[in-house]
Amino acid sequence: MIDLRNFYETPLGDMARRVIARRVRAFWPDVRSDRVVGLGYAVPYLAPFQGEAERVLAFMPSAQGVLRWPAEGRNLVAMAEETELPLPDRSVDRVLLVHGLEGLDHTTAALREIWRVLTDSGRLLMVVPNRRGLWSHLERSPFASGRPYSSSQLETLLRANLFAPGDRAAALFAPPTRSGVVRSAAPVWERLGGRWFPGFSGVLLVEASKQIHALPMSREPRRARLRTPVVVTFPGLRPGATAAERRGHAPDDTPRRILDAR
């Protein structure tokens, strides 16, 4: 996580964040009354939803560590296993998975866990390294870690885990170079790349919805926990409540027992 944080503090990382954030926002232009959860290292892309969504939380995997976010105010990050999210069934409207899928050891279990916590109308948005793009092959890129995917592989993976693939997009066509000239031309790279070379983007974005007509397969027995799990509650709101049902409810003070990342 420290390496990812340091990358996003560089000029190259800031360029990547701005390019990808525009695509993420295009998928989700309105999250009013929604509960938004970021998984992996999604915090660089969650700030625009604060103050608009009903609440915003982030979970980081224990294998990579956890960093506090945001820098000011109440901490909204907890450490959690991807296969054991400390959330009630059908309690989240939107899940943003960034710097996560490519490093998962138990992909099926993690996707089934996301399926569990999403409401019936919930949406999953994944930002994944493109196996054909430069960003998945050069060491200076954080998208070079783990397994990159093709668009067809993502579609197959989602369908196999009870998700219906929906809209998709490509982003990050500028090469991962420290050249200020190249970075300043990022909008041009995005425009030309999306038109002429869509298959060679740095990342792929895919949104998916739950296939609620199918029931998830039984999960493997949970491993014995070494500590008391984090409990995240939403007082006064039943699990599975839609965003429309929640309108008119004033959001309470964030989770009661969320871990403090120092």
Instruction: Assess whether the previous peptide bond of 187 is cis (omega < 30° from 0).
Output: no
Residues 110, 112, 115, 116: is their CA dihedral positive or negative?
negative
| Residue among 216, 214, 140 nearest 178 (CA) | 140
For residue 252, being part of any structural domain is answered with no
For residue 180, being part of any structural domain is answered with yes
Residue 149 has pLDDT above 70, yes or no: yes
Query: Phi and psi (nearest 5°) for 145?
Result: -90, 140
105 band by pLDDT with thresholds 50, 70 and 90: confident
Residue 230 has pLDDT above 70, yes or no: no
Residue 234 has pLDDT above 50, yes or no: no
The structural domain count of the chain equals: 1
For residue 254, being part of any structural domain is answered with no
Query: Phi and psi (nearest 5°) for 106?
Result: -125, 75
Burial of 133 by CB count in 10 Å (0-12 exposed, 13-18 middle, 19+ buried)? buried
Say which CATH number the domain at 179 has: 3.40.50.150
142 band by pLDDT with thresholds 50, 70 and 90: confident
Residue 233 has pLDDT above 60, yes or no: no
Q: What is the DSSP letter of 130?
A: B
Share of the chain above pLDDT 90, in %: 52
Contact (CB, 8 A) for 178 and 171? no
Determine which of 70-84, 164-178, 221-235 has the lowest per-residue pLDDT on average. 221-235
Residue 6 amino acid letter: N
Of 129-138, 176-185, 199-208, where does the model show the most confidence?
199-208
For residue 259, being part of any structural domain is answered with no
pLDDT, mean of residues 53-68: 89
How confident is the model at residue 103, as a pLDDT?
A: 87
Residue numbers of the domain that contains 28? 2-213+227-246
pTM, to two decimals: 0.81
247 band by pLDDT with thresholds 50, 70 and 90: low
How confident is the model at residue 150, as a pLDDT?
A: 93
Paired tokens of 236 = 């006064």
How confident is the model at residue 206, as a pLDDT?
A: 97
Residue 89 has pLDDT above 80, yes or no: yes
The pLDDT mean for the chain works out to 82
How confident is the model at residue 177, as a pLDDT?
A: 80
For residue 262, being part of any structural domain is answered with no
169 band by pLDDT with thresholds 50, 70 and 90: very high
For residue 25, being part of any structural domain is answered with yes
Cα–Cα distance for residue pair 83/187, rounded to 1 Å: 37
Residue 201 has pLDDT above 50, yes or no: yes
How confident is the model at residue 1, as a pLDDT?
A: 67
Please indicate whether residue 6 or residue 245 has the higher confidence score (pLDDT).
6
Query: Which H or E run contains 174?
Result: none
Residue 250 has pLDDT above 60, yes or no: no
